[in-house]
Amino acid sequence: MGNTVFSCPKCGTGLGIGDAQCPGCGVKINTSAYAAYQAAPQQPAAGQNQAASSNPSAAANPANNANQGQTTPQATDFSHDFENAANQAAAKFNDVMSSQEMQQAKARANHFLGWLVASWKRPTQELNAPHMYGVVSFALQAFIVSLMQFISISSAINNQSRAVSGILPEFGGAAHTVAGVANNFFFDVIVKMFFVTLICELIFLACSYGAYKMTHSKSISFFAYITKVAQYCNLNFLFVCIAFVCNLISLSFFSGILLCVMGPLFFIATIVVTAKDAEPAQKDIMHVSFLVMLGSFVSFVIYFIFVLSVLFAGMGSIANNLMRL
């Protein structure tokens, strides 16, 4: 390193003419900035003697001459060029690092499991995942919830059947028959509930997508919108897996808490995606929010009707089978 005449604008370490990298922080230095200093025209010796003879006070006080030499326009320009070059190098270094992190996240998002992990770490980052990942994520979540409920119901029915057989052996055959009928009935109910859940989610997302289209000039496909919403609330996938494990080890209370968290998180993620970067020039977000409310209401009505139909059908089926015994 040459004579230390400048300092790094990032960390303050001394730098000399020709240094291409700061020894303190390692930031790259644009060496072209040194050219402005090295190419600065030097005053001829004759001219310097003439200036000294014409200004005896300056010649008598060399300290003033040194101070004047430090404030020449060439030195000032070089200092500015050097600082700008160093700042640009530091900015490029940071951009490269953030770009590498972005590329790594996008590379992980090329497969489903990597997309899940990347969305858990950075839910709002643009991962550019395949557009069908959102539908797959919501379908798997609904399937796991349905399977968990069927396992719980079937386990409760079988336990009651064994209890009746143990207490009243003469009714053991009838109890097993009722248990089989009930298991078949609830299996059919769970399968229907899986599809009804998906339909209700799609209705709600379709209304929210309409609100998104009305408030954003940049258009995306419906499946891309679903994937973005799924990315924002993919913690639900982790929650449902934990709830499934808790249900298997008889921790139904914690399983129920996690399932209760999933609904609000899904709703919040949809609202955030719809309202994020909304353009007031298109439509006011408060106006189009009624579309989101409409989707919620329609989904609730459909699910409520389905639950009532299941209850009435279940009671009728059980009553018919009891009459045959």
Of 104, 113, 36, the C-alpha closest to 72 is 36
For residue 303, which of 148, 187, 185, 198 has the smallest C-alpha distance? 198
CA distance 92 to 84: 12
138 or 320: which leads in pLDDT: 138
Q: Which residues neighbour 5 within 8 Å (Cβ) at sequence distance 6 or greater? A: 15, 16, 17
Q: Which of 126, 137, 130, 133 lies closest to 103, judged by CA?
A: 126
At 31, the pLDDT band (50, 70, 90 cuts) reads low
Angle subtended by helix axes 235-248 and 252-275, to nearest 10: 170
More confident residue, 181 or 239: 239
**Nearest Cα to Cα of residue 119 among 128, 136, 138, 270:** 128
**What confidence score (pLDDT) does residue 248 get?**
87
3-class DSSP state for residue 15?
A: strand
pLDDT digits (tens, 9 = 90+) for 73-94: 555 555 566 556 656 655 655 5
How far is it between the farthest Cα atoms of the chain? 131
Which pLDDT tens digit goes with each residue over 6-28?
Answer: 677 777 777 776 677 787 777 77
- DSSP at 169: G
| pLDDT tens by residue, 182-235 | 777 778 888 888 998 899 999 999 999 988 888 888 888 999 999 999 999 999
User: Across-strand partners of 16?
Assistant: 4
- The tens digit of pLDDT for each residue in 95-129 reads 544 455 555 555 555 678 888 888 888 888 887 78
At residue 49, the pLDDT reads: 46
Instruction: List the beta bridge partners of residue 14.
Output: 7
pLDDT tens digits, 32-58 = 655 555 554 444 444 444 444 444 444
**What is the C-alpha to C-alpha distance for residues 157 and 163, in angstroms, rounded to an integer?**
10
Say how many C-beta atoms besides its own lie within 10 A of residue 176's C-beta. 15
- Model confidence, pTM: 0.61
Where does residue 312 rank: exposed (0-12), middle (13-18), buried (19+ CB within 10 A)? exposed
Taking each continuous run of H as one helix and of E as one strand, the counts in the chain are 12, 2
CA 243 – CA 298 distance, rounded (Å): 27
pLDDT in tens, 148-173: 888 888 787 777 777 666 665 555 56
Q: What are phi and psi of 21, to 5 degrees?
A: -150, 140
Q: What pLDDT score was predicted for residue 67? A: 46
